[in-house]
Structures are given as C-alpha cells and as structure tokens.
Chain A
C-alpha cells in the first residue's frame, strides 16, 4: 500500500519562504503531485513531479527525490491568500488511484 506523511501545520509571515515536506512509502508510483485546498473549498492541482528534481511554477516549486522517498513544496513570497491546506499525492501504478498525504495546514500571518 501507500502512505504519505506531512507535518500537520506550518506557520510563516507574509513575504517569507516556506517548505512543506512529504515523505512516502509506496510500492510503485508514477510521480508526486501537490494540491491546495482553502477552507470550505475543493482541492485544486498545483504541481507534479514525474522525475527527480525541482519543478517551478511561479512562486511555487516542487521537488522530488525517489531515492530518499521524499518531496517538498516550496512557496516563495508568501501572501495571505496562501493560507490553506496542502496535500501531496501519488498515483498507485496498479490500482490507478491517487493516494493523498495527511495534509499540512499553512497559516500565513501579516
């Protein structure tokens, strides 16, 4: 099976940089993806890493290291609107379903 662990909560101030980690145990997966969910809303796709290394999309970057079973989401120039929950996820190679991490609540303060 698959399991993905994330810190439950991270706090930071506006303008700062924050890193949200994701460690996983999986028997086989295609890549690591990240989703953002604001309170009361649905999750939305942020980024995807099929290969090891860093993927950058604007203020957000995501990193994957398969050898370390580890990935992270990096948020730069934090804004108040970045306050949300962030989930990492992997797609099971056999069952074709996404397995989500435990989720990290990011609180951005002024």
Chain B
C-alpha cells in the first residue's frame, strides 16, 4: 500500500531563517506530487506541483521554492522565512485519477 511521509510535524523558526520540508512517498512510482499551504481556518492554497523528476510548476510567486530530486521525494525550501510563511504545509500525491492522498502535514510557526 502507498504511504506518504512528511517531517517534521511541527516547526518553529525565526524570521529570516532557512526552511527545508521533506516529503517522501512509498508504494507507488512516478506520482504527481503537490505542496499546499493552509492558513488557520482557511482553504488549501496550492504552492507547487510536479509531474516528474526535476519538473516543478509554481502556482504562487513568493520566497518559497520546491525541488524533486528523486521520483518519490519532494522538498519545499526557503532561504529566508517571512512571518507570512506561517501555516500548515501539506504534501500530497496522486497516481492518475482524482483521488489525492495527503501527508500528515507540518505546522510551521515563524516568529
């Protein structure tokens, strides 16, 4: 069966510090991978998606970037965090249909 891992679960970082969130998927190959951000009580904002290794599409211009160095690994990064980067970050994968599977998420607080 397929499993999606995200870490860390929670993170508190000062403004201006770097960020690296990692997501890995097991049990499937060549998945479509997604990074979402969710502010408290709000909807899901798509940040990046990838249909293959090295292929990244950015949805929202901001100080975040994403990379897909391996088929089942998706990384979200920032060189300098802003207060507005606080939120719940969710990684997700989709094999081919419309059923999308989400990781447990990382709750980021920028102070």
Contacts and interface: CB of A to CB of B under 8 A. Distances in A.
A91 B44 contact: no
A57 interface: no
Interface residues of A, number: 24
B98 A100 contact: no
Contacts of A30: 98
Contacts of A43: 44, 90, 102
Interface string A87-110: 101010001111111110100000
A41 B34 CA distance: 17
A89 B101 CA distance: 13
Contacts, number: 53
A47 to B, nearest CB: 10
A86 to B, nearest CB: 11
Contacts of B104: 41-42
Interface residues of B, number: 21
14 contacts: A41-B104, A42-B103, A42-B104, A45-B99, A48-B97, A48-B98, A91-B98, A97-B46, A97-B57, A98-B94, A98-B100, A100-B43, A101-B43, A102-B43
Interface string B23-57: 00000000010100000011110100101000001
Interface in B59-102: 90, 94, 97-102
Nearest to B104: A42
B32 A31 contact: no
A44 interface: yes
Residue of B44, B97, B104 with most partner-chain A CB within 10 A? B44
A108 B87 CA distance: 26
A89 B105 CA distance: 19
Contacts of A97: 32, 34, 46, 49, 57
